[in-house]
Amino acid sequence: MVLDADAAYLALKARDARFDGRLFVGVSSTGIYCRPVCRVRTPRRENCRFFDTRAQAEAARFRPCLKCRPEIAPGLSHTDSSRSLADAAARLIEQAVQRGEPARLPALAARLGVTDRHLRRIFLAAQAVPPHAYLNTQRLLLAKQLLTDTDQPVTQVALASGFASLRRFNAAFAEHYRLNPTQLRRARGTARAGTAGPAALRLAYRPPLDSAALLGFFARRQLRGVEQVEGLSLRRTLAWPHGGGRIAGWFDARFVPERCEVHLAYAPALAPVLGALLACVRQGLDLDADPALIAPALATLPGPPRPGLRLAGCFDGFELATRVILGQQVTVKAACTLTQRLVDRFGARVDTPFAALSQIFPDAATLAGADPAEIGGLGIVRQRVRALQALAAAVTQGRLTLHPGAPLQATLDALRALPGVGEWTAQLIALRALAWPDAWPAGDIGLMQALGTRDAKLLAARAEAWRPWRGYAVMHLWQQLENPA
């Protein structure tokens, strides 16, 4: 653990949200484990055991609290989870569960460049639980959240959580939590059958979080029909691959600062991919960031400090990459104009309860198969058309994946190999689509303006002080230009 037990108990007594997701407390008198922000009466010190992860608490036979709900606690950021091989494997397991993908240990080990036997050994040493137990915990916690916050049938929850059968799901749930899924739903009183309004999910984050800056960033780049920022809410449409096709829908992510949470409403059609949607929104709003780790590294940035500034991610990697390509050598406003024309011409219609949302961003297959002259007729120069269609073809053919679980270096190499994609474009895609917090687009005009130099080498040298959080430095400098304090 980062903290010793006495310091951890002080954090628990203070209900310090900075330790949320980094510290869990098991209470021996109740057999329950909680987040440090739990509002129940603080347990006696001698009854507390402290854990780094939820998997460790569950391996010690504690079950999750029904009040503070450990399953909604913030996770670890991309840089946190790449500090060691074991942590990188843990992150890949979490992403696989959320995306509904298989999490087979030999495949994970091969991706990390080690044998599965070596991965098992170092994973157990670092996480204090074997990989299969960690995987099972992630699946059960996702299932617990879906049972608590949605009215999905138990069978659908089991499949969405990665269990091969309802029987295995019920057995695992009863073994770990000592009640069956239906009892949990009844105990929480959250079954939504017959109720009005959309289902909602809760996602926690560590404070501070500058929601005004984050939502302002999205608002200055929003596309008509696709996204809308209103008050503390970000709403948008999206389509998700599922069962050989695509599911179209919408979500509404609303910040609730007094609870350090985001409440997520979503289209019922997206119910089969809720795990993936949760991961997508967490990355897009950077809810897993730890400001206490990031802020000290950025102390030498020019301008006033901006506590809680987050890295604005994306909700569709192909869409983000398309926007970056169309933004080459033009202003943000001009890039939005070109992208809007692309949406108006090639986007699909979708029904939503919001007047401002009516279109889905065109998918890769549509743009890969479009007539280049038709794309060029929108005012997009030939070089950009070529780059855009090469990107779309690579995504359609599966040669390129653009999400935080994609291997960083291989993805950067694949991007650089595309016509019309240089280092600036690749770094921006890594920053916002791959959630890589140390990305540094050295040739960015905005960074040059903010730092008062056009010397890319000087910029890169100056940015060394901000590693491994140079991506957050980019957001700080952009905010300094777009929204001076």
Please give the C-alpha separations between residue 62 and each of 32, 116, 123, 185, in angstroms, as whole numbers: 5, 28, 21, 19
- Is 65 among the catalytic positions? no
341 phi and psi, to 5 degrees?
-65, -40
Annotated active-site residue 34? The verdict is: yes
Whether the Cβ atoms of residue 445 and residue 462 lie closer than 8 Å to each other? no
Q: E strands of 36-88, at which residues?
A: 48-51, 63-64
Q: Which of 20, 34, 149, 336 is catalytic?
A: 34
50 forms bridges with which residues in the sheet?
25
User: How many Cα atoms within 13 Å fall on the side-chain side of residue 117?
Assistant: 0
For the chain, give percent helix, strand, coil, nearest 5: 50, 10, 40
Residues in Cβ contact with 95 at an 8 Å cutoff, skipping those fewer than 6 apart? 101, 279, 404, 405
Point out the catalytic residue in the list 252, 290, 438, 444: 444
8-state DSSP, 206: P
Alpha helices (H) along 128-180: 131-149, 154-160, 166-177
Residue with tokens 């007539």: 371
Active-site positions read 34, 444
